[in-house]
A = this chain, B = another copy of it.
Amino acid sequence: MNQSIRLLLADDQALVRGALAALLDLEHDLEVVAQVGRGDEVVAAARAAGAQVALLDVEMPGLDGIGAAAALRAELPGCRSLIVTTFGRPGYLRRALEAGASGFLVKDTPAEQLADAVRRVHAGLRVVDPDLAVATLAVGANPLTAREQDVLRAAADGGTVADIARGTYLSEGTVRNYLSAAIGKTGARTRAEAGRIAAENGWLLR
């Protein structure tokens, strides 16, 4: 029999992390060798434990899972990444693939499929939800410029234009211009709607 596949788990929710470890440890050919709760601890833990596949949640403190996948790609090219996330946002998938991730699963996937996904990723195959792939193609690439994303993110917590201007070191008129551009590009009619649409498409990461 071959050696076990060495896994790293990264998820900020300890309960979910521990439960996934229990689930995966039931498979004789899988072995969870490291668990972390922050994205910026992934590379060091993967290196120390000799992980071959990393299961990465997107929403994590320190560094998001996609950034962690990029860091792994750069520093430990032998360790493949499988993104496991709550939200099947098109922009997440696009950026995950650009970051060199080998797979992308949403958390409402049946639990029985997780181990197989890990094995396929370890074997060098890609694992992507086909529906999400289609949706990602339909949505297209992120139309927002970096600054437009900045002001939308700053507007997300409901501050006034003056607040956003202070937070981004821009003039109020410039903030209004960026918001107007973002509203136009998203097809929205208010800044709040634009922020919601952008967030749903995964355009506000980082």
Contacts and interface: CB of A to CB of B under 8 A. Distances in A.
A139 interface: no
A158 B192 contact: yes
A20 interface: yes
A160 B183 CA distance: 13
Interface stretch (A39-47, A68-76, A101-109, A126-134): A101-109
B158 A15 contact: no
B196 A157 contact: yes
B14 A108 contact: yes
Contact of A14 (B12, B84, B110): B110
A15 B108 contact: yes
Interface residues of A, number: 38
A107 B12 CA distance: 9
Interface in A171-206: 188-196
Interface string A14-26: 1111111111001
A191 to B, nearest CB: 7
A167 interface: no
Given A15-B84, A23-B19, A23-B22, A158 B110 contact: no
A137 interface: no
A16 B107 contact: yes
B193 A157 contact: yes
Contacts of A195: 158
Interface in A4-20: 12-20
13 contacts: A12-B108, A14-B110, A15-B105, A15-B107, A18-B110, A18-B111, A18-B112, A23-B23, A157-B192, A157-B193, A158-B190, A159-B193, A192-B192
